[in-house]
Amino acid sequence: MSIQSFIPPQRTLMGPGPSDVNPRILSALARPTVGHLDPAFTGMMDEVKSLLQYAFQTENAFTIAVSAPGSAGMEACFVNLLTPEDTVVVCRNGVFGARMIENVQRVGAKLIIVDSPWGRAVDPQQLEDTLKQNPEANFVAFVHAETSTGALSDAKTLCEIARAHDCLTIVDAVTSLGGVELKVDDWGIDAIYSGSQKCLSCVPGLSPVSFSERATDVIKNRKTPVQSWFLDQSLVMGYWSGEGKRSYHHTAPVNSLYALHEALVILQQEGLEQSWARHKAQHQKLAGGLQKLGLEFIVPAAERLPQLNSVYIPKGVDDAAVRNYLLNEYNLEIGAGLGDFAGSAWRIGLMGYAARSENVALCLSALEDALGRFST
């Protein structure tokens, strides 16, 4: 056996994530590792908390990064908040709503599903009707930005409805954080999780989360232990809390946190509103170009995510041949369809550092070339 060092190709990442990583973030990632209890490092962790509060637009004290990918952040929200005594309404309009359901089932809580069509936003009226019919429901969960379809749901309205029915909210913001308007405190979100590798343009592997005071109280007042030791946030907070002595829980992924810190510094330097505006502007450029190429969007314009553009694959076009050609000829990655859209859609990401004119230009030209070659 003799395996050599791995030198990856230089790709342009315009799939559903990971997105193009800003070179500043890769530099930060490679800085010298320090101990996870080094005062220099724990000081940086406090900054990560502040920067995440800014990104989430929240003053929640319990705002940290879970030391694992977004699906662990999702699970952290569900297993810490829920017990089998709870009733959860999950709004499902794609793969990630379905994953929420899996999480509720593995906790053993009672489950009510509100289904909306794939490629559409969650319907607030349906949620309202469901909550009226099910007064025992005490949690509402939904995906803000469905990465599997490119649909943006109206988180503000959904949270208002949930609150009016005394439900706490659990919100998936994996693809939305940094890319579209998101205001945790203004909207009254109780638990939210995201991912490092989408609009923050950081490397994959971390999941920013934030819990409101109401949610934190639920966790503190649990009578049964959280089923996951690793994701037990009452233990994790003993390490992340800046007050007093930090207790050891697990070894933090030191270098990945350097990278997240840098990603959040970049976001702060650009400004959140400016980042949202940039995603929108680049999306408009891309959408115009895609339409000229004859590609049709799955999601109606008003419910479209700027950072994830899902289009139908035209009839007679070979899905895999196009994507392989883009990858091999242009080093350009676009995303395949997922779930209901496997084989019938492409997902073109404009996330974070990828939401730039040069990426849009490359994507449109390369796609035009590929469509010309692989259409029958």
Q: Which of 117, 186, 242, 251 binds its own copies (CB under 8 A)?
A: 251
- Give the single-character DSSP code of 317: B
Q: Which of 98, 113, 219, 254 binds its own copies (CB under 8 A)?
A: 254
Which CB sits closer to its own copies, 248 or 284?
248
Smallest distance, Å, CB 258 to its own copies? Answer: 6
Q: Based on the number of CB atoms within 10 Å of its own CB, is 188 exposed (0-12), middle (13-18) or buried (19 or more)?
A: middle
**Residue 197 binds its own copies, judged by CB under 8 A:** yes
Smallest distance, Å, CB 55 to its own copies? Answer: 11
Q: Which of 250, 296, 329, 344 binds its own copies (CB under 8 A)?
A: 250
**Residue 9 binds its own copies, judged by CB under 8 A:** yes
Separation between Cα atoms, residue 104 and residue 99, nearest integer Å: 9
Smallest distance, Å, CB 371 to its own copies? Answer: 21
Smallest distance, Å, CB 206 to its own copies? Answer: 8
**Residue 238 binds its own copies, judged by CB under 8 A:** no
Q: How many angstroms separate the first and last alpha carbons of the chain?
A: 45
Residue in 334, 212, 198, 196 with CA at minimum distance from that of residue 253: 196
**Residue 253 binds its own copies, judged by CB under 8 A:** yes
- Annotated binding residue at 120? no
Query: What token pair was written down for 111?
Result: 């489950």
Separation between Cα atoms, residue 331 and residue 324, nearest integer Å: 9
Q: Which of residues 30-89 bind its own copies (CB under 8 A)?
A: 30-36, 38-41, 44, 47, 50-51, 54, 67-72, 74-75, 79
Smallest distance, Å, CB 80 to its own copies? Answer: 13
Q: Which of 204, 246, 285, 374 binds its own copies (CB under 8 A)?
A: 204
Identity of the amino acid at 360: V
**Residue 132 binds its own copies, judged by CB under 8 A:** no
Q: Between 300 and 329, how does the x/- string for binding to its own copies read (CB under 8 A)? A: ---------------------------x--
**Residue 333 binds its own copies, judged by CB under 8 A:** yes
Give 284's contacts (C-beta < 8 A, 6+ positions apart).
306
Q: Which of 87, 106, 219, 340 binds its own copies (CB under 8 A)?
A: 106
Q: Between 151 and 190, how does the x/- string for binding to its own copies read (CB under 8 A)? A: ----------------------------------------
Residue in 264, 257, 230 with CA at minimum distance from that of residue 72: 230
Note whether 209 and 73 are within 8 A (CB): yes
Identity of the amino acid at 51: L
Note whether 326 and 332 are within 8 A (CB): yes
Give 133's contacts (C-beta < 8 A, 6+ positions apart).
none
**Residue 364 binds its own copies, judged by CB under 8 A:** no
Preceding peptide of 18 cis, ω within 30°? yes
Look at the alpha carbons of 255, 232, 188, 115 in this order and tell me if their dihedral is positive or negative: positive
Which CB sits closer to its own copies, 131 or 174?
174
Binding residues: 347
